[in-house]
Amino acid sequence: MRPFEGIRVIDITHVLAGPFAAYQLGVLGADVIKVEHPDDPDQSRGTGSDAALNRVGMGTGFLTQASNKRSITADLKTEEGREIIRRLVATADVLVENYRPGAFEALGLGYAALSAINPRLIYASFSAFGQDGPRREQTAYDHVIQATSGIMAMTGTETVHPVKLGTPAVDYATGTMGAFALASALFQRERTGQGQLIDMAMLDVAMILMASHLTGYLRNGKHPKPHGNRQGFATSGAYQTKDGLVMVGASNVRQQRRLWTVLERPDLIKRTNAEREADAPREEAAMSAIMLTRTAAEWEDYLQERHIPAARVRTMGEAAADPHLASRGVIHRHAGATGVDGGFSVPLAAFKFAHDGPRIDTPPPAFGEHTDAVLAELGYAPADVARLRAAKVI
């Protein structure tokens, strides 16, 4: 039995962060019911690297985080659409939404209204800046939060910055942190019997992603500077080799001693980090010359065999083809899905259980694929469903 077997999640989210949080519960057994407006599908259905899939509403942005979910449609601006949500809430454990703060309260679907129906409900609101504070009504995406938070200002090189991260890390971190918050609230409910209201803000998560840098700044007022591919010490950073870059990670004093020993430069071994910082230019010049004597792959093998962290800089294609990744079970292969020709692969989870862990059972759903089935579960007769469809409520 997976951790969230028997838990029902109402997923009224779009784009990345909110859907990814619900997805994490879904791969651990939750029954996730995704709710979309009948005339306005989740934005992620039309985004991704495959134009043909975007056109049919099954973009790779959506496929990434929609396995194990069921899809229904409902217009929440209609009373009958809101009644569908209220009926779902009566059967659910979790509701996740990521619309503008105050929007669901205005619809009569806020936490106070829905917890009156189901006092054990865990209600999570995802937003850019949170449900309170001076900026609560402002909107943003991942890259806007990167700019707002200071992440961009500390990313890049001394001459080229600020630089946006290549991945929407804040979105996926918010989804992951949101899943942790939901799991914590569910565990708390088992002890107290009470529901919970969760306020998830992308900006808050971005600040946590910079935790040690933030602590340092708050202590001494020093802004973290962009260091490019260097990590503070000459023995920890990227260097050009015969055929590409290798990232060396001899970060601590013990590792740098081992590195300089195997590189036959014992004269550069230091006793303290302060000594390393003082001699950084000389160490960096030595490293630059030495690294040019082998290929990146040769250096990776040579250094790893001697217990020194190192890796050649790979493309995504090279990383995905690594047999080690296949051994970890991070990727799940779907044979196909409604609207998708041929097989495709999606990420599953970033951890493994010895038993009853993350698993994908069903492919991402087509838009509204399960509307009839879910409404039938809620007691709607076929005639009722037909009437709602004719009225464009679903």
Return the active site residues.
171
Cα(209)–Cα(268) distance, integer angstroms: 34
CA pair distance 134, 79, nearest whole angstrom = 32
Could you tell me how many helices (H) and strands (E) the chain has, helices first?
Answer: 18, 11
| CA separation for the pair 232, 147 (Å, rounded) | 23
Q: Which amino acid is at 234?
A: A
User: For residues 359 and 27, what is the distance between their CA atoms, to the nearest angstrom?
Assistant: 5
| Opening angle at CA 219, ends 215 and 220, nearest 5 | 125
Residue 343, CB-side half-sphere exposure with 13 Å CA sphere: 6
CA pair distance 101, 197, nearest whole angstrom: 13
The whole-angstrom separation of Cα 211 and Cα 217 is 10
Compute the distance between CA of residue 175 and CA of residue 187 in angstroms, rounded to an integer. Answer: 18
Both tokens of 40, joined, read 């306005």
φ, ψ of residue 112 to 5 degrees: the values are: -60, -45
Three-state helix/strand/coil letters over 156-184: CCCCCCCCCCCCCHHHHHHHHHHHHHHHH
Place of tokens 């990313």: 155
Angle at 98 between CA 96 and CA 101, to 5 degrees: 115
Spatial CA neighbour of 74 closest among 59, 86, 61, 58: 86
